[in-house]
Chain A
C-alpha cells in the first residue's frame, strides 16, 4: 500500500531489512560472546527470512540499479 506518488529511494525502502539485519547481528553476536549461541534454533530461523528477502529482491531485480 504505497501512498507515495514517488518511489522511495533505496535506503528508505530497505529500512525494515536494515533494522532486522542490525538486530540479528547484535543478538547473534552477543549470544556468541556469552556462549549461548545456538545455530539451529536461534540464528537460522530469522536468517532464513533474511535470505528469502534478499533472494526475492534479487530475483525481482529491485536491487539492480539502486532505488
Chain B
C-alpha cells in the first residue's frame, strides 16, 4: 500500500477514535455538532479555496492524495474537526477549563489557538515533503521550503472562529436538530470570516515582501 494512502486511512481511523471519545465524554449533541459541522466546513471551505481562482491561495496536489470529494481531499472533511478537537481537549486539560461549561473559557480558546498554530508547525513541515499543497502565490514570509507563514495564523483563526460559533449555536435554546442544522449552515459565515482573517495577515505582511 502507498505510504500516503496508509496515512490518510490512519487519520480517518484516529478521527473515529476522537468521535468515540467525544460521544462518550461530551455527549451526542456536542459530538454531532462538532464533527458534522467540521465535515461541512472542511468539505465546503477546501473546495472553495481550491476552485475559486480569485482567492489566489492554493490547491491540493492530485499526485499526493488518493481519496477525494470534489476538488478537496477526503481527509479535509475530518482535518479541521480533529485538529480543533485535539486543541480544545488539550487546552481544557491544561488550564482545567471547560468551553461549554463556561470554566476559564477565554483561556481555553486562547490556548486552543496557540495549539493550532503549534500543530500547523508540525503539519505544514510534513505537508511540504510530498508536497500536499500547491501554493498559487509568492508569500512575503515563508517557512519550510515555501510554505507561507500565514498558515500558523490561519490555523489559530480557524480554532477561534469554529469554537466561538459552536459555543454560540450550542447555547441556543432550541431543539437539537435545529442547532445542528444552524451550525452546519453557519459554515457559510465561518468560511468568509476565516478568509478575511487570512487576508488581514497577508495585507499586514505584504509590505515585508
Contact = CB atoms under 8 A, between A and B. Distances in A.
Interface of A: 1-4, 8, 12-13, 15-20, 22-24, 26-28, 30-31, 34, 36, 38, 41-43, 45-46, 48-49, 52-53, 56-57, 60
Chain A contact residues: over half helix, strand or loop, or mixed? helix
Contacts of A8: 24-25
Chain B contact residues: over half helix, strand or loop, or mixed? helix
Nearest to B17: A15
Interface residues of B, number: 40
Interface of B: 7, 10-11, 14, 17-18, 20-21, 24-27, 30, 82, 85-86, 89-90, 93-94, 96, 98-101, 115, 117-119, 121-126, 128-129, 143-145
A63 B117 CA distance: 28
A13 B18 CA distance: 10
A27 B123 CA distance: 7
A23 to B, nearest CB: 7
